[in-house]
Structure 1
Amino acid sequence: MPSAHYVIVGAGSAGCVLANRLSEDPSTRVLVLEAGGSDRDLNVMIPLAFSNQFHGKRDWDYSTEPEPGAANRRLYMPRGKQLGGCSAMNAMLYVRGRPLDYDLWEEQGATGWGWKDVQPYFLRSEDNARGASEHHGAGGELRVEEQREARAINEPILAGFEAEGIRRIDDYNTPEQDGATMFQVTQKGGRRWSAADAFLRPAMKRPNVQVVTHAQVLRLELEGTKVVGVRYRDKRGAEHVAHADREVLLSAGAINSPQILMLSGIGPGAQLQQQGIPVVQDLPGVGENLQDHPMFTMNYAIRGEGAAGTLYGADKPAQLLKWLATRRGPLTSTAAESVVFWRSRSGLPAADIQFHCGGLYYEQHGAAEHDGPAMVIVPVLVAPRSKGRVTLRSPDPLAAPAILTNALVDDEDAAALVAAVKLARRVAASGPLAPHVDRELLPGPSAQSDEEIDAAVRERIELIYHPVGTCRIGAADDDQAVVDPELRVRGIEGLRVVDASVFPVIPGGNTNAPTYMVAERAADLVRGRVPAVA
């Protein structure tokens, strides 16, 4: 039976950081359990190929329950199941969110997680191609670069937003986020640079680190209310217990971390009893507070000179050969190349809409095709009011949990997206972008009035792969808090949760960079390098 000082469940973004930082001390033994396998695959390494992983062996392939705010459709929710986790499957967009996001965390009981506290941890990881500055780090493990060969269609897209009164900015990762610019990406020389590349592989060279793949966690092993290890099943079906001399660090993500807690008897007592699971610790907040960013894809056919500036033809064999030989060409694209942060109405403290834009047809998570040059503008609601939950469907640890985001149940959420659709249409129909646009493919001419747009949004809304919040940080007197500000599970000894599930509020942007930050700070908390908080 394997044992270590620290057992980390999950080799995703957070788990890879923890493995690296905690193993810096050669006397500290670290064991990482990962349900998936290797990330050595071209669909992982080639940036534009990320959606080829969806619904495959590298994907947990989750879907929600029928969503009442989204025409009772089940919404797809990919989750990485391999070394690197979601960082090996995502679109590599490096976005931190705004200072007010983290100050709001602190206001809601996450003491020590305000912007002044967390900014140094963003900088610690970062190796930004722009060099070190007030807002960026250099020399860290996580390489952040400009896009190597962004498509030319992005310039008229950005100019089109600028013609609608949205300013150009150089950097959205500053306190002043609103505006239009190009994404920075977690790539290195034209290929993906995941958490496994940045953090785990260097750690695996150390003799005090062991990584076990194809390790499906069944539950935590407890002695009373103390976690002493993790029970898992290997690829042959044999069960093992990994013993933790000090702590277990649960980094399985916003879906699997609450599932593992509940399977272990830690969670809403009444729900656990209904599943026949003995209650170890009644924590009603486990699985609650689920938040994600809804997105609405708007696809346009492109004509004339603009066609050459799209990703049309990127799937040709010649482009693959070019990427293999030079790490250049359209396959270095992240699909979404340009970005706009915008406030859908006056009086908001920050942008509630983030437009992801690129020179391709992107529909049904990349599965649908269009034969011809195309462009996509994707309004994403980054300040959703609606919240959902993750619950057990079965006491069987191999059964997927029940997931409900309640996307667009709050009418204000839908109204923000309706306003964003109308802005995107103005951008496409007039100004610098208009000469390149042949026609709107989706949502199409049938959705014109606010009511029709609202219906179209609900009928086609999807999620943009950012689930958070299901084991949130909170104060001692907060009954819905799952972990304290040091990420220790309430009422349980020897267990912390370290991943995006601890976010009290979803940040106003992509969530991978904030997950790295949480793990960086957690590593210092575990090692006692930051002052204790109540």
Structure 2
Amino acid sequence: MIPGGTAGNVIAARLSEPASELKNVLLIEAGPSNFDFATIAIPFAAGTLSPFTPVDWNYTSVVQPGLNNRSIPYPRGHVLGGTSSTNYMVWNTGAADEWDRYANVTGDPSWSWDSILPIIKSIEALSPPADHHDTTGQIKPSLHGTSGPVGVSLQGYPSHIDGKVFKAIDELPSEVFYNEDMGSGFPLGVGWSLSSVKNGSRVSSATAYLDPALAANRVNLDVLINTQVTRLIPTDASQDAPAFLGVEFTQSASGKSCLCDLMDFQFTIFSLGPYHILNATTEVILSAGAVSTPQLLMLSGIGDKTALADFNIESIADLPDVGRNLQDHTALPNVWSINVSSSPDDMKRNTTLFNDMLEEWATTRTGQLATSPIGPIGWFRIPDNSSIYGTTTDPSAGPATPHYEFIFAEIFSSYVEPEPTSGHHMIISSNLISPTSRGSITLASASPFDAPLIDPALLNSDFDIFTMVEAIKAAQRFLTAPAWDGFVLGQYGLFEGVTSDEEIEKYARNTASTVFHPSSTAYMSPFGASHGVTNPDFTVKGTRGLRVVDASVFPYVPLMHPQGYIYVLAERAASIIKAGKAAWKTADYTPTSQDVFSKDNLDL
């Protein structure tokens, strides 16, 4: 398994279960243990975990023409749990229309909503919010699972703005409606946000899947941390589809680390100076995410042979779509000043207040820090008669799926403005959810230690900027409801005075960034299709013994926050692998002439 991210930990835990016939599983994670960073567990501290921290890959995009030629931070989790350990914990599981679209474009009906819904319920453990308030009318418990590994809960400790959001819905029926539960497969409207939080602490794939597996003392599951995979090695090229069962990796200067001892593994390990080669006997599963997965594939000779030749990388499997089709959500946290005497902004300025709240969380897992900073969320469509449809086809999955999102939060947030030293603020983040722009992941060099070139192509189409402008205007209209009278003081900072379409577009291009949801760079297509990278069973086209299980396989970017979708992918992949035992298996592998390495034990 490569690495121990959102999907990787699910696969490792499921394949090492006593009932599985795949007896030995090794998980290789480039980052440190999630237990090394106590802040990860604090829900309200999500905003401090990225970018440019020890638990982030600290990527930066290439210059974005749609963002007025700015490059932007591009956070990805670099720690056990991956981005599930560093994200904002929003829990969505998608719209029925989009799962049905996945089924249609892959030619596999088992990706439909009706087939996926039981998996969703098997993952969830609906839990009380941190403040244990009565959630009647805020969620429909019958739509959710209660005994799965991932604890999910509604927001605890509602802010000043939450009640006003729902009052404004009643006052503006022509603009928006209330959605009691977005887990129904119909997400449109505004409702209470579910988060991957249980008992006042973050739930990541590391805590939900990996920790319980390790706690069970499974001798067939081992986890390497601080260990970076540098490429995949073909171990048998005798057939048209080469087998990729070799993994080359190295360990960080911070120390060679293992969360448990390697015991009785059916792997062959070779040393290569500071590198090591490990050859699996069953298969290799790549779950490095929409940025690192295509990078590793290309470094390993899987990709566009013409592009690989530019870096003197031998083409072993010519798959031109590797790294192409990158899709992401564009985020813009629009800020207003509000009339309150206290808000979460105070915690960032008052050390004593923060320490008191930290003590409350540490001792009781209650208080403001025990809940996500994100409040209610909403999903919307631009009108069917919008002028943009004169030149653009609707990119969404259907009439019950969104084009843009609102996130409400009573806190200052900005990607480009400094933190204010006084006052109190709220945001309505307008996020583009159904982009028509397509970007790419390409190699910067043949070195695995050089970050790839990341081009999400944000706001790089007429539809995308049109929709973002419409979303900001809709947010402005929403705040004209009487519920906000005397509470909202005005637009703040770079948003102040922005009213016309031209001003809104300029403001958006100058201040927008990413919601951190890259996808689709190793996308699925039907078996036998000449396009795409993976098959509906996660196997990589033109290869043997290799699968990809992460957000890169989605043909289209998820139309909500993708964390929940990725758990679904991973659970489905684990079931497929266990049912088939392996995509391909080799008997007692013997090194070929290309494996000129001296056999050695890995020193842990």
TM-score normalized by structure 2?
A: 0.83
Partner AA of 2:49 in structure 1: Q
Amino acid in structure 2 at the alignment position of 1:69: G
| Residue from 44, 48, 51 that aligns with 2:44 | 48
Aligned to 1:3: none
Which residue of 299, 307, 310 maps to 1:274? Answer: 310
**Structure 2 residue 492 is the aligned partner of structure 1 residue 441:** yes
| CA shift digits 1:136-181 (9 cap, x unpaired) | 1111100011222221321112322443321122111112211111
Q: Which residue of 2 aligns with 1:524?
A: 575
Residue matched to 2:428: 377
1:229 paired residue number: 246
Greater mean alpha carbon deviation, residues 146-155 or residues 353-362: 146-155
1:38-73 CA distance string (max 9 Å, x none): 112232011111222220111001111111111111
Instruction: State whether structure 2 residue 75 is matched by structure 1 residue 39.
Output: no
Deviation at 1:129?
A: 2.5
Taking a change above 3 Å as real, the CA distance of residues 367 and 336 of structure 1, as seen in their structure-2 partners, is farther
Partner of 2:380: 342
> In the alignment, what sits opposite 1:180?
190
Aligned-partner Cα distance in 2 for 1:473–1:277: 24
Structure 2 unaligned regions, length at least 5: 129-138, 254-272, 349-353, 386-397, 584-604
Superposition deviation, residue 458 in structure 1: 1.1
Match among 337, 341, 351 for residue 402 of structure 2: 351
Equivalences for 1:392-431 in 2 at 5 Å? 392-431=443-482
Give the counterpart of 1:200 among 210, 220, 243.
210
Judged with a 3 Å threshold, the aligned counterparts in structure 2 of structure 1 residues 369 and 35 are, in CA distance, closer, same or farther, namely: farther
Q: Is 1:332 the equivalent of 2:328?
A: no
Q: Which residue of 2 aligns with 1:94?
A: 91
Q: Which residue of 2 aligns with 1:128?
A: 126
Contact 2:3 2:28 in 1 (8 A): yes
Query: Deviations along 1:240-295, whole A, 9 cap, x unmatched?
Result: 12221111000000000000000000001100001110000110010011111001
Q: Which amino acid aligns with 2:7?
A: A
Alignment of 1:74 onto 2:71: yes
What code does the residue aligned with 1:80 have? Answer: G
Partner of 1:171: 181
User: Aligned partners of 1:287 and 1:434: how far apart in 2?
Assistant: 49
TM-score (ref. length: structure 1): 0.94
Q: Tell me the equivalent position of 1:144.
A: 152
Query: 1:444-455, aligned counterparts within 5 Å?
Result: 444-455=495-506
Output the CA distance in 2 between the equivalents of 1:250 and 1:410: 31
Query: What is residue 312 of structure 1 aligned with on the other side?
Result: 345
Equivalences for residues 246-265 of structure 1 within 5 A? 246-265=282-301
- In the TM superposition, residue 333 of structure 1 has moved relative to its aligned partner by 3.0
From 343, 360, 363, the equivalent of 1:322 is: 360
User: For 1:112-136, what per-residue CA distance to the aligned partner results, in whole angstroms no more than 9, with x for missing partners?
Assistant: 3121222222111111137996521
| Pair 1:23-2:11 in alignment | no
Residue 515 in structure 1 maps to residue 566 in structure 2: yes
1:360 correspondence with 2:402: no
1:468 aligns with 2:468: no
1:430, 1:521 → 2: CA distance? 44
CA distance in 2, matches of 1:155, 1:134: 25
Inter-partner Cα distance in structure 2 for 1:519 and 1:299: 37
CA contact (8 A) 1:427 1:433 kept: no
> Matches of 1:154 and 1:133 in 2, distance apart?
21
On the 8 A contact 2:140/2:181 being kept in 1, the answer is no
Write the letter of the residue equivalent to 1:140: G
Q: Which runs of 4+ in 1 moved over 6 A?
A: none
CA distance in 2, matches of 1:162, 1:424: 16
Q: Secondary structure in 2 aligned to 1:380?
A: strand
CA deviation profile, 1:392-435 (whole Å, cap 9, x unmatched): 01000000000111111111111111111111112224420232
CA contact (8 A) 1:39 1:82 kept: yes
Tell me what 2:165 maps to: 157
Q: Is the 8 A contact 1:254 1:467 kept in 2?
A: yes
* 2:225 counterpart residue number: 213
Partners of 1:164 and 1:339 lie apart in 2 by 16
Distance (Å, rounded) in 2 between the aligned partners of 1:312 and 1:120:
40
RMSD over aligned Cα atoms: 2.1
| CA gap 1:522/1:441 in 2 versus in 1, 3 angstroms | same
Alpha-carbon separation, structure 2, partners of 1:249 and 1:369: 45
What CA deviation, in whole Å up to 9, does each residue of 1:490-528 have, x standing for no partner? Answer: 111000000000000112110000000000000011112
Deviates more, 1:329-338 or 1:406-415: 329-338
Q: Partners of 2:317 and 2:148 in 1: how far apart?
A: 39
d(CA) in 2 for partners of 1:367, 1:463: 18
2:320 to 277, 284, 292: 284
| In 2: Cα distance, 1:328 partner to 1:48 partner | 11
- Over 3 Å counting, the alpha-carbon distance change for 1:257 and 1:189 in structure 2 is same
CA distance in 1, matches of 2:448, 2:562: 27
Query: Is residue 481 of structure 1 aligned with residue 546 of structure 2?
Result: no
Larger Cα-atom Rg: 2
Counterpart Cα distance in 1 of 2:424 and 2:368: 13
State the AA in 1 paired with 2:279: H
Cα offset, 1:529, TM superposition: 6.6
Per the TM alignment, residue 368 of structure 1 is displaced from its structure 2 partner at its CA by: 3.3
Matched letter for residue 83 of structure 1: L
Are the equivalent residues in 2 in contact too, given 1:110–1:473 (CA < 8 A)? no
Cα 1:108–1:365 change in 2 (3 A) is farther
Structure 2 residue aligned with 1:5: none
**8 Å contact 1:417–1:457 — kept in the other structure?**
yes
Question: Structure 1 residues 307, 184: CA separation in 2 closer, same or farther (over 3 Å shift)?
Answer: farther
Correspondence 1:290-309 to 2 at 5 A: 290-303=326-339, 306-308=340-342
Contact 2:415 2:511 in 1 (8 A): no
Contact 1:307 1:374 in 2 (8 A): no
* CA drift at 1:332: 2.1
| One-letter code aligned to 1:29 | N
> What amino acid does structure 1 have at the position aligned with 2:244?
V
TM-superposed deviation, 1:442: 4.1
Query: Which residue, 2, 12, 16 being the options, matches 2:5?
Result: 12
Q: What is the DSSP-based 3-state SS (H/G/I as helix, E as strand, rest coil) of the residue aligned with 2:486? A: helix
**Whole-angstrom CA distance in 2 between matches of 1:515 and 1:365:** 30
Displacement after TM superposition at 1:465 (Å): 0.7
Residues 198, 365 of structure 1: alpha-carbon distance in 2 compared, 3 angstrom cutoff = farther
Is the contact between residue 490 and residue 496 of structure 2 (CA under 8 Å) also seen in structure 1?
Answer: no
Deviations 1:229-248 (A, max 9, x none): 21100124831122211110
Q: Measure, in 1, the Cα distance between the counterparts of 2:418 and 2:447.
A: 31
Q: Give the Cα separation in 1 of the matches to 2:170 and 2:281.
A: 57
Paired with 1:132 and 1:456, the residues of 2 have a C-alpha distance of 39
Tell me the distance in 2 between the aligned counterparts of 1:400 and 1:75: 14
Correspondence for 2:542 among 491, 509, 530? 491
Distance 1:337 1:209, change over 3 A: same
How many Å separate the matches in 2 of 1:342 and 1:351?
A: 5
